[in-house]
Structure 1
């Protein structure tokens, strides 16, 4: 299944482009599913279960309020013993108000549910996901990996061996010990997050950026390009949205069109060839599928776009080589492309088996491969848009063989 993640600066028309992409994919004969938190004009009202738009296009919505209520009521039922001991009063569904941050968890849950069902049933060729605005989208895409790390630290799987001792500990302490349901819930949530993370990192997943050509969007795109590279996410298209007709006789209108043309030309030079696409300004907001079809040229390629996953690669003293074996001639160099990043924006810390990497407003904690865990960090440099971290083998951790 091919997945296209659509995002862009707020107000740039990302939902319109996501819907037009899904429609173009369906009209190309591909079974397509569009997932969005927003309503699409002319599409059925929809719900959390996919509904048919055309013969090849289905549409599903994210309902964060319902997800928040269901999750909290389920947690309340599972923790009823502890809550009863504390004298807590139960909450009713009617009095629950969605809290900040729940929309992101609802989005991940819905994405896992609709994508998981289609992967197992083979009912979708292309999944188009209308993500939140650019800054929130980058945080959302990083969330599965971050939450899984927190779960492993707070409830380590190896600690579950002590479950048999919980009744004894509870009697000695006088309070209930963590119940089995807590570990089971953590395991279920970790499995769900792992599936979403695998979908995001899959070789067939790409990001489609949507922006109106101009200086404000250019700053946002530069930052996004770095944030996406840090996570190994590839951009399949940069859609210049609401492009005005060129060569107008009206001076005021012509000036706006000229500015758009200038920035679009600059983006075409900055991004890889073939990345830039244009979606014309219709003179009004799209009112249905027929208007979306006028945007044209947005159908994604259903084929796997190329290698993906971990963006890092490893070199041995400047030559390509595997990370798992002992370096023959000296240091190993771990490389990560970081386009648009400046040296002053990059901060790197080694802590145990993890590498804490901060690039401007973005951060990622990467677990080192087995070969690199037996090395010490001897230096790092950012040159020509590529971060290279140099690892020197620790003789005490590299046993010699005759």
Structure 2
């Protein structure tokens, strides 16, 4: 199972530096590692000491304090001669450089280019629309006319992450994420989009059924409903893939702490906001990282930082199930438990909307975070009787309510009874 470490923190907290140190530490432990910068404008390359970034986004020529391509073999050979003279072949500088070379061979560094990804996505969308619009006598829009689309770069970045996690090419994927506030909004997107699709797809299906006789007579004309159905199916599959990458037992969001007073409200609310989305949070590993006098730059300095932070421990997360709601059967009904560690009563909002339970959390200075939980079938025919917070869990009590049963069930049952009496 590919492990995912998504690192984020308040601006200026050193997230990029710690992401690079984490990736190197995992590679030194024998893992094939992808270090992915999703909001990187060159910081990752600068921290690693890379001399450039290739056209496909891969960081090249990581600097170890000497030119990697020209000086590595010469340096190893010279150090090897010196070590042989002093009997230090296994533990001298040559051995250190050889180990570092093996570490770098297991490390791939890549930056996600939001502008290029957005341009490609909009071009694909324009191509998708061209067929149905042409059949209707309309011209297809140019890709430039479709953008910019708010939130699209985040969506594409998440897709890049999920593709990497689904691949068998790496054992560990380390993501250098955006600052904490933006990262929380990005990570909430899959659930927000899934909830929106749940509302769109039934409406689209009902409309398609109602107009099917009319559309059947328009032979050869692509129906908009077929296109919408295909689009929503594809979107649902994409969302499911992203969601699977973020919530599988080997994934964690590791948060870099900060001593800034302004950052404390959001840092304190982060475990709750991540749990609301069903994501694992790790605020302890990097909470008390000692700040070094000078910023670690280059592979050697980052390796030293990794040793300080992780010591002999594996930098990756252990396998733990993410926080998800559970339904519990009680004597007089049911209980629906939603894990929300650290939540305060005055932050919490709770609304029943049809077959969904909508939970929202308000944090000062941050847009409200909400998630619509599709209720299990047993709870859809119940009413909410109680709601309370206990031990970091929102406990919602449900009681069966016959008034919520579908009318047709009662009608069918009545007709069957009458037929039986006859």
2:31 partner SS: coil
Cα distance change, pair 80–16 in 1 and its aligned pair in 2 (3 A): same
Partner of 2:142: 91
1:278 partner SS: coil
CA contact (8 A) 1:34 1:128 kept: yes
Cα distance change, pair 289–16 in 1 and its aligned pair in 2 (3 A): same
CA contact (8 A) 1:332 1:392 kept: yes
Partner of 1:267: none
Partner of 2:339: 337
Cα distance change, pair 88–34 in 1 and its aligned pair in 2 (3 A): same
Bigger drift between 27-36 and 143-152 goes to: 143-152
Matched, 1:369 2:376: yes
Cα distance change, pair 61–10 in 1 and its aligned pair in 2 (3 A): same
Of 355, 358, 363, 2:357 maps to: 355
User: Could you give the per-residue CA deviations for residues 258-317 of structure 1, whole angstroms, max 9, x where no partner exists?
Assistant: xxxxxxxxxxxxxxxxxx441432423x3322221222224645564322252x23444x
Of 173, 185, 202, 1:139 maps to: 185
User: Could you give the per-residue CA deviations for residues 371-400 of structure 1, whole angstroms, max 9, x where no partner exists?
Assistant: 22232110111234322111112357699x
Q: Give the whole-Å Cα distance in 1 for the aligned partners of 2:21 and 2:360.
A: 35
Q: TM-score scaled by structure 2?
A: 0.72
Point out the structure with max Rg over C-alpha: 2
CA contact (8 A) 1:160 1:183 kept: no
Bigger drift between 179-188 and 146-155 goes to: 179-188
1:79 partner SS: helix
Q: Give the whole-Å Cα distance in 1 for the aligned partners of 2:171 and 2:373.
A: 31
Partner of 2:80: none
Q: Give the whole-Å Cα distance in 2 for the aligned partners of 1:100 and 1:291.
A: 38
Higher RCO by CA contacts (8 Å cutoff, separation 6 or greater): 2
Please list, as runs of the form range in 1=range in 2, the aligned pairs for 1:212-291 lying within 5 A after superposition.
212-238=258-284, 276-284=287-295, 286-291=296-301
Unaligned runs of 5+ in 1: 241-275, 317-326
CA contact (8 A) 1:47 1:61 kept: no
Partner of 2:30: 29
Unaligned runs of 5+ in 2: 63-103, 363-367, 410-422
Of 196, 207, 212, 2:242 maps to: 196
Partner of 2:5: 4
Q: Give the whole-Å Cα distance in 1 for the aligned partners of 2:226 and 2:351.
A: 36
Of 372, 379, 382, 2:386 maps to: 379
1:212 partner SS: coil
Cα distance change, pair 383–237 in 1 and its aligned pair in 2 (3 A): closer
Q: Give the whole-Å Cα distance in 1 for the aligned partners of 2:176 and 2:55.
A: 15
Q: Give the whole-Å Cα distance in 2 for the aligned partners of 1:292 and 1:154.
A: 48
Q: Give the whole-Å Cα distance in 2 for the aligned partners of 1:105 and 1:362.
A: 17
Cα distance change, pair 216–13 in 1 and its aligned pair in 2 (3 A): same
Partner of 1:346: 348
User: Could you give the per-residue CA deviations for residues 14-67 of structure 1, whole angstroms, max 9, x where no partner exists?
Assistant: 121111111111111111111112131224525656567611111222111112
2:7 partner SS: strand
Q: CA deviation at 1:156?
A: 4.0
Q: Give the whole-Å Cα distance in 1 for the aligned partners of 2:402 and 2:350.
A: 23
Partner of 1:313: 326
2:105 partner SS: coil
Please list, as runs of the form range in 1=range in 2, the aligned pairs for 1:122-201 lying within 5 A after superposition.
123-156=169-202, 159=205, 162=208, 168-169=214-215, 177-178=223-224, 180-201=226-247
Bigger drift between 383-392 and 45-54 goes to: 45-54
Partner of 1:114: 164
User: Could you give the per-residue CA deviations for residues 340-376 of structure 1, whole angstroms, max 9, x where no partner exists?
Assistant: 3221221111122100111212211001122222321
The number of equivalent residue pairs is: 346
Q: Give the whole-Å Cα distance in 2 for the aligned partners of 1:389 and 1:61.
A: 43
Q: Give the whole-Å Cα distance in 2 for the aligned partners of 1:116 and 1:277.
A: 32
Q: TM-score scaled by structure 1?
A: 0.75
Please list, as runs of the form range in 1=range in 2, the aligned pairs for 1:33-48 lying within 5 A after superposition.
33-37=34-38, 38=40, 39=42, 40=44, 41=46, 42-43=49-50, 45-46=53-54
